[in-house]
Amino acid sequence: MSAGLMIYNVLCLAVPFSVALLLAALGENFNQRAGVFNLGCDGIMCMGAFLGFMVPFSLKATPWAAYGNLLGIGAALAVGAAMGVVFALVTVTFRASQGIAGIGLQMLGWGLAGTLFRHFVGGVTGVEGMAALAIPGLSKIPFLGGVLFNHNALTYTALLLVPACWFLLYKTPWGLKVRAVGTHPRAADTMGIHVDRIRYQALMLGGAMAGLAGAYLSLCQAKMFSDDLVAGRGFIAVALVYFGRWSPLGILGGALLFSIAQSFQLSMQVWGIKFPYEFAVMLPYVLVIVVLALARKARQLGPTDLGKPYNREMRF
Amino acid sequence: MTPSLEPISELKLEGITKRFPGVLACDGISLQVRRGEVLALVGENGAGKTTLMNIIMGLYRPDSGSIHVNGEEVHFHSPGDAYARGIGMVHQHFMLVPNMTVAENLALGLKELHHFMNLDIKGAAKRIREVSERYELPVNPDAYIWQLSVGEQQRVELVKTLCLGARLLILDEPTSALTPQETDDLIVRLQRMASELAIIFISHKLNEVKALSDRVSILRHGAVVFNGQTANHEPSELAALMTGHDVVLPRNEGSGIQGEALLSVQNLCVRGDRGNLVLDGLSLELRAGEVLGMAGVSGNGQREFADALAGLRPVESGQILFGGKDLANRTPREIIHAGMGYVPEDRQTEGIVPSFSVKDNLILKDFAEPRFSKMAFLRKKEIDSNAEVLKERFDIRCPSTSTATGSLSGGNIQKVILAREISRGPKALVAVYPTRGIDMGAQEFIHEQLLARRREGIGILLISEELEEVMNLSDRIAVIYKGKILKVLPAVEATRERLGILMAGLADPDSPGDEQAEVPAGVVHE
């Protein structure tokens, strides 16, 4: 196999791999920009993946079958937003420690999704899932066509969300408020911004995007559901936000880097390169740890009040 | 925010009361201010000034009492409501988001610029230009806040508040972070603005109150104890009313003991948090039995210098000679054993462990000494009696020595730190902003302690931005500017103006020809 073809194969695989991470991390970025880090992202993804699978699975033999996937995605978005609201209730209204609450939400989502799956479905069953949608014309471009334009609709959506999230964050009143409440909530409060309300909204949006990321995994990537489908991707998404320095473009870069490492290690196994696969599997994770450890610590442009509950009547 | 329909002409507070757990912050306060008038609100830390202002702005809800604007009772639920009636506040800690531009900070509060999926940032910039021209407050709308100096941020706050439609300005200790020149400049601007606005000026610097205000109200323990025309009262009179007793801050009377060099810093270079060279060849000599004041605007390397002396920050090059040993890049433990005492700038986090009891904080540096520990066990009785003795001697006001230190007032925390450092019998003491934010009673006590130690022959390096403090206590004054000592002059030759000019980095106007005029230590003051 030529080197060019190897790179092509790795990249073709990396783009779909990156989608779930990208969606979840772009959502998590809104949470963190508003000053709340949601470690429960992983649990939300589990529930999103479960509903994304469950809805089309149970509509299989009904007249609604044609809308199964869409309804599944809708359900995943809804459950994600709902879990975001639960998290906001605990961390914003009741000002619980975000780290502990996030771990709780992760276990809740993971456990609940698995339990419901065993109760309603039981064994391993596949769904038809979403088919690839080659973009006419563009998908015929040599090299780039295969890498970028021969995927399913959610992949394109995720890629388009990168500029959309950037616009939302930097060019709209809502984005301005999100950035302000995550950096200096008291200043925002003195300017008449409802800090708690903005944090609720950001957590809802972030949750919905994590739910969507989960649905992508079950509907597009695996076309099935199992307990360990999400496999800690929610935590990787949280790390990618730090890695991307709270910028949508940086997050895209991080998601692609991680996915390329992932698809590279898979390809290595396929090519039969003699290398203990246990180490190969570790590669992307090790990469993230190394990059996070070496990354510049300057937080000049990041949300400096990240992780701190805001209490107006707290004296300082 | 919608501008108020009728411009604010009068604000009246009646019987405002506010309790925090365990504290009566405001106790039936009544005040009044009209357009064209500057009301100074004076009081010690913890007197309730800031709490009262936060109530006016709708950030806190009063437990009882009422607020009237133009004779009509109002209830503010958030600062937005206050702005809608033309009341705006410049907080002591600036309310600016550092990673956003000046225009973005303003746009945050101007709801009419918020359109669906579109933020009218140009509109905000235009507003800023209009107001900054009208009131002669130059600011650049496109600059990021973190790029601006403290003085510029102050101007941004003023412009922002005016842009939001405020015509009654509440200024909470606006000069606390400014240089003397910036302070004078601000006072002149405010005087000019006062004719068409109403201003509530919060301060405990009485010379500024005297220069700017028409009327003065004094708060003590949450209650108004005095109302009067500023012109009819002397600052000393106001100070006595503020503290409840006559305040006579002690002065260094100069016993004339000629000490030998104790600490000699040579060509010290130290990097700051951002990796830039903050101390750039600093040289200084401290002698036994003198107070060497270090004056300078904060941010010129004082913090890094103190860190380096305490062993908390690596030294790039240069020497710190102390008792014949070079202490540069030694561990804090070695430096403590060498006989260096340290009163850090940040008393809450570096000076004490807030959750530890007073008695435990008093032995933080000596817990391993045989006096306080035996075979790896703490000697409880010794620790208790040590704490009782120091509590008495240093007038530490706490319910008991087992109280968590962090719950004490700033003045008492500082006394705990001072007690620990002084009772260890150091050869030299570095005190960084020792009375910042501390009420005048505790300040008086701390000053007396420092001067008493000086008489015992300890060399004291006093780093401060309060010129009064430096001039009252020092034998010699070193002015630090951009990481270098610009000049060392005997305290008798120092005046506010001369120090102010030096602190701004300008050439010394009174310099007698040769630059570093050698000044003998322990100059006798008359």
Q: Residues B170-199: pLDDT tens digits?
A: 998 888 777 777 888 889 989 988 888 999
Q: What is the pLDDT of residue B256?
A: 56
Q: Using an 8 Å CB-CB cutoff, list chain A residues near B105.
A: 187, 191
**Average pLDDT over chain A, rounded to whole?**
91
Counting one residue from A and one from B, how many pairs have CB atoms under 8 Å apart?
A: 82
Please report which helix (H) or strand (E) contains residue B64, including its range.
strand B64-69
Answer whether A187 sits within 8 Å of B1, measured CB to CB: no
Please determine, for residue B492, whether its predicted confidence score (pLDDT) is greater than 80: yes
For residues B331-342, one letter each, b for 16 or more C-beta atoms within 10 angstroms of the residue's C-beta and e for the rest, the string is eeeebbebbbbb
**10 Å Cβ neighbour count for B262?**
25
Q: Residues A144-157: pLDDT tens digits?
A: 888 888 889 999 99
**10 Å Cβ neighbour count for B238?**
21
Share of chain A above pLDDT 70, in %: 96
| Residue pair B119/B111 in contact by the 8 Å Cβ criterion | no
| Minimum-distance CB partner of B78 among A171, A192, A316 | A192
B350 or A204: whose pLDDT is higher?
A204
Please determine, for residue A209, whether its predicted confidence score (pLDDT) is greater than 90: yes
Answer whether A304 sits within 8 Å of B105, measured CB to CB: no
Answer whether A192 sits within 8 Å of B104, measured CB to CB: no
* Banded pLDDT at A175 (limits 50, 70, 90): very high
Please determine, for residue B33, whether its predicted confidence score (pLDDT) is greater than 90: yes
**Averaged pLDDT, B11-18:** 94
Q: What is the pLDDT of residue A103?
A: 96
Q: Which of B177, B186, B184 is nearest to B299 (CA)?
A: B177
Q: What is the pLDDT of residue A296?
A: 64
pTM to 2 decimals?
A: 0.80
Percent helix, strand, coil in chain A, to 5, is 70, 0, 25
Please determine, for residue A94, whether its predicted confidence score (pLDDT) is greater than 60: yes
| Residue pair B408/B416 in contact by the 8 Å Cβ criterion | yes
* Banded pLDDT at A297 (limits 50, 70, 90): low
| Minimum-distance CB partner of B79 among A191, A298, A315 | A191
* Banded pLDDT at A279 (limits 50, 70, 90): confident
Answer whether B108 sits within 8 Å of A188, measured CB to CB: yes
Q: Residues B346-386: pLDDT tens digits?
A: 888 889 998 899 999 999 999 888 999 998 899 999 999 99
Q: What is the pLDDT of residue B255?
A: 58
| Minimum-distance CB partner of A187 among B57, B96, B107 | B96
| Residue pair A233/A218 in contact by the 8 Å Cβ criterion | no
Distance from the Cα of B80 to chain A's closest Cα (Å) equals: 4
Q: What is the pLDDT of residue B332?
A: 93
DSSP A182-203: HH-HHHHHHTT--HHHHHHHHH
Q: Using an 8 Å CB-CB cutoff, list chain B residues near A180.
A: 97, 100, 108
* Banded pLDDT at A125 (limits 50, 70, 90): confident
Q: What is the pLDDT of residue A314?
A: 63
Q: What is the pLDDT of residue A124?
A: 82
Answer whether A192 sits within 8 Å of B57, measured CB to CB: no
Please determine, for residue B522, whether its predicted confidence score (pLDDT) is greater than 80: no
DSSP A16-69: HHHHHHHHHHHHHHHHHHTT---TTHHHHHHHHHHHHHHHHHHTTTSGGGGGHH
Q: Which of B89, B93, B94, B97 is nearest to B145 (CA)?
A: B97
Domains in chain B (CATH in brackets) are 10-243 (3.40.50.300), 248-339+426-526 (3.40.50.300), 351-424 (no CATH)
- Cα-Cα-Cα-Cα dihedral sign, residues B367, B369, B370, B371: negative
Distance, in Å, from the CA atom of A123 to the CA atom of A114, rounded to the nearest integer, reads: 11
Distance from the Cα of A174 to chain B's closest Cα (Å) equals: 8
Please determine, for residue B409, whether its predicted confidence score (pLDDT) is greater than 80: no
Share of chain B above pLDDT 70, in %: 94
3-state secondary structure of A170: helix
Amino acid letter, residue A94: F
Q: What is the pLDDT of residue A183?
A: 93
List alpha helices for A64-97, DSSP H.
68-88
Distance from the Cα of B22 to chain A's closest Cα (Å) equals: 13
Q: Residues B412-465: pLDDT tens digits?
A: 899 999 999 999 999 999 999 898 777 777 888 999 999 999 999 899 999 987
Q: Using an 8 Å CB-CB cutoff, list chain A residues near B59.
A: 189-190, 312
**Averaged pLDDT, B93-101:** 91
Q: What is the pLDDT of residue B511?
A: 57
A213 or B524: whose pLDDT is higher?
A213
Q: What is the pLDDT of residue B3?
A: 46
Measured at the CA of A88, the angle between CA A85 and CA A89, to 5 degrees, comes to: 90
A127 or A214: whose pLDDT is higher?
A214
Please determine, for residue A284, whether its predicted confidence score (pLDDT) is greater than 80: yes
Name the interface residues of B facing A (CB cutoff 8 Å): 1, 20, 51, 57, 59-60, 78-80, 83, 89, 91, 93-100, 104-105, 107-109, 111, 113-115, 117-119, 146, 164, 274
Q: What is the pLDDT of residue B524?
A: 38
Q: What is the pLDDT of residue A266?
A: 86
Answer whether A191 sits within 8 Å of B111, measured CB to CB: no
Question: Which token pair is B409?
Answer: 């007032």
DSSP B344-380: -S-IIIII--TTSBHHHHHTTTTTTSTTTEETTEE-H
**Averaged pLDDT, B295-314:** 90
Q: Using an 8 Å CB-CB cutoff, list chain B residues near A173.
A: 107, 113-115, 118-119
Measured at the CA of B390, the angle between CA B389 and CA B396, to 5 degrees, comes to: 120
Q: Residues B498-510: pLDDT tens digits?
A: 888 888 887 766 6
* Banded pLDDT at B407 (limits 50, 70, 90): confident
| Residue pair A245/A177 in contact by the 8 Å Cβ criterion | no
Q: Residues B460-485: pLDDT tens digits?
A: 999 987 888 899 999 999 999 989 99
Answer whether B97 sits within 8 Å of A171, measured CB to CB: no
Please determine, for residue B67, whether its predicted confidence score (pLDDT) is greater than 70: yes
| Residue pair B87/B168 in contact by the 8 Å Cβ criterion | yes
**Averaged pLDDT, A53-79:** 94
Nearest CA in chain B to A168: B117
B406 CB-contact burial (10 Å; exposed 0-12 / middle 13-18 / buried 19+): middle
- A20, A306, A184, B145: CA torsion to nearest 10: -80
Answer whether B99 sits within 8 Å of A301, measured CB to CB: yes
**Averaged pLDDT, B230-246:** 83
Share of chain A above pLDDT 90, in %: 64
